[in-house]
Amino acid sequence: MEVYTIKDVAKEAGVSIATVSRVINKADNVNPALRKKVLKVIEKLDYKPNRIAQGLKSNTTNTIGIIISDISNPFFMRIIKEIENIVHQEGYTLILGSTDDSPQKELEYIKLLYEKRIDALVISSTGENEDYLNELQAAGMPIVFIDRRPVKNKFDSVYVDKVTATYQMVKYLLDQNHRSIALTTGPRDIITNYDRYVGYTKACYEFKLEINNDYLKFGHFTVDFGKKSLKELLNLKKRPTAIISGSSLITKGILIQANKDNLEIPKDFSLVSFGNISMNELICPKMTYLEQMIHEIGKNSAEILLNKLLGSKKGKKEIKLEAKIAIGDSVLNLKN
């Protein structure tokens, strides 16, 4: 496939290279008929302007950095796909970094992307580098936090309200007559898991449930941690009758371990999950889960960024999404 240059476009259109450049950069001082002629040739040759060269002139690179905690987590990859679908239409490409929830690794990626002159940043942050991010924001870089709310500084953010969501899950299990409810989730020092803990304890206090620290499992958003947490919970003298899983990967691990131990859900224990697991409709029993609002997170964060890149001077925008529980068959009503 032949790749055409700006020189080829100019020759085909019978104009100067400078005229083609003015058309590409949407300059005002181009005759409308000439502009139409050049655009027609650009379309005919399928000419792709050199974005890097354009960026050197306009101090932009048409790239957006995205930093997430785990590239293997389907939740984040689906959000990234939603963002990419929108920003690609406006001529932007993505550069991705995955931190494994390491503050040091996160800082390295932030600095690396800044050196690559990204135009904006989307981040699911550890919360440990907000001061540095605040400096970049003050220097003019649009930054949007996704999934995890900012801890102390003001940034644009789009996330599900984890406090309310966890509270709702505990209440739903209480309505199904469960009184021994466990929570297994990611690292204790990550804000989303703190929020889940707050929602869990808030419901326990309100409905007079004893908080059993043995029922609280903080670890990693991984399949292996799901297996490990289930084994530990079922080895307790007083087993929980229901488990709230903090992610689809943890849920997957719990299901694998339950199958290995010949346990039936919800007969042996009930299970609810933050986020749907893949092929849920084929799994028996069908999982009860909290909708993660992936489309809404991706769409809103992309739109905030694009508005800022277009020069919007509006103040910081916080979009706190209220998620709903999708009822499946993984919770047993103990009254029955």
**234-260 average pLDDT score:** 95
At residue 56, the pLDDT reads 46
At residue 228, the pLDDT reads 98
Within a domain: 27: yes
Claim to verify: residue 284 and residue 178 sit in the same structural domain = yes
Within a domain: 327: no
- Compute the distance between CA of residue 179 and CA of residue 182 in angstroms, rounded to an integer: 10
**271-285 average pLDDT score:** 76
**235-251 average pLDDT score:** 95
Percentage of the chain modeled with pLDDT above 90: 68
Claim to verify: residue 230 and residue 216 sit in the same structural domain = yes
Within a domain: 169: yes
CATH number of the domain to which 26 belongs: 1.10.260.40
Kindly report, residue by residue over 22-47, the tens digit of the pLDDT: 788 777 778 888 999 999 998 888 88
At residue 26, the pLDDT reads 75
Return the higher-pLDDT residue of 7 and 258.
Answer: 258
Claim to verify: residue 187 and residue 264 sit in the same structural domain = yes
Q: How confident is the model at residue 58 (pLDDT cuts 50, 70, 90)?
A: low
**112-139 average pLDDT score:** 92
Within a domain: 331: no
Claim to verify: residue 183 and residue 258 sit in the same structural domain = yes
CATH number of the domain to which 282 belongs: 3.40.50.2300
The residues, any chain, with a CB within 8 Å of residue 175's CB and separated by 6 or more, are none
Claim to verify: residue 225 and residue 179 sit in the same structural domain = yes
Q: How confident is the model at residue 52 (pLDDT cuts 50, 70, 90)?
A: very low
Return mean pLDDT, the chain.
Answer: 90
At residue 50, the pLDDT reads 57
The HSE-up count of residue 323 (CA atoms within 13 Å, CB side) is 29
Token output for 218: 């903080």
At residue 245, the pLDDT reads 97
Q: Are 288 and 328 in contact (CB under 8 A)?
A: yes
**97-124 average pLDDT score:** 94
The residues, any chain, with a CB within 8 Å of residue 45's CB and separated by 6 or more, are 4, 8, 9, 12
User: Does the pLDDT at position 1 exceed 60?
Assistant: no
Claim to verify: residue 88 and residue 147 sit in the same structural domain = yes
- Compute the distance between CA of residue 302 and CA of residue 296 in angstroms, rounded to an integer: 10
- E strands, the chain, in order: 63-68, 93-98, 120-123, 143-146, 156-160, 181-185, 216-218, 242-245, 270-274, 288-290, 318-321, 325-326
User: Does the pLDDT at position 172 exceed 50?
Assistant: yes
Fill in the amino acid letter for 223. Answer: V
Range of the domain at 13: 6-49
At residue 91, the pLDDT reads 86
Claim to verify: residue 182 and residue 248 sit in the same structural domain = yes
Claim to verify: residue 197 and residue 227 sit in the same structural domain = yes
Using the 3D structure, point to which of 252, 271, 291 is the last residue of a domain.
Answer: 291
User: Does the pLDDT at position 77 exceed 80?
Assistant: yes
Number of domains composing the chain: 3
User: Does the pLDDT at position 132 exceed 80?
Assistant: yes
User: Does the pLDDT at position 95 exceed 80?
Assistant: yes
Claim to verify: residue 217 and residue 241 sit in the same structural domain = yes
Within a domain: 214: yes
pTM listed for this prediction: 0.78
- Compute the distance between CA of residue 191 and CA of residue 147 in angstroms, rounded to an integer: 10
Fill in the amino acid letter for 143. Answer: I
User: Does the pLDDT at position 53 exceed 70?
Assistant: no
Within a domain: 336: no
Return the higher-pLDDT residue of 307 and 3.
Answer: 307
- Dihedral through CA 225, CA 228, CA 234, CA 239, nearest 10? -40
Residue 47, CA distances (Å) to 1, 27, 105, 325 in order: 12, 18, 38, 48
Claim to verify: residue 138 and residue 170 sit in the same structural domain = no
Weakest mean pLDDT among 17-21, 47-51, 235-239? 47-51
- φ/ψ (deg, to 5) at 245: -100, 135
User: Does the pLDDT at position 299 exceed 90?
Assistant: yes
Residue 8, CA distances (Å) to 25, 40, 49, 53, 254 in order: 17, 13, 12, 17, 60
Q: How confident is the model at residue 51 (pLDDT cuts 50, 70, 90)?
A: low
User: Does the pLDDT at position 12 exceed 60?
Assistant: yes
Within a domain: 1: no
Claim to verify: residue 234 and residue 205 sit in the same structural domain = yes
C-alpha 86 chain-centroid distance: 15
Weakest mean pLDDT among 121-130, 230-239, 278-287, 295-304? 278-287
Within a domain: 326: no
At residue 280, the pLDDT reads 54
Q: Which of 10-14, 72-76, 136-140, 154-158 has the highest mean pLDDT?
A: 154-158
Claim to verify: residue 74 and residue 146 sit in the same structural domain = yes
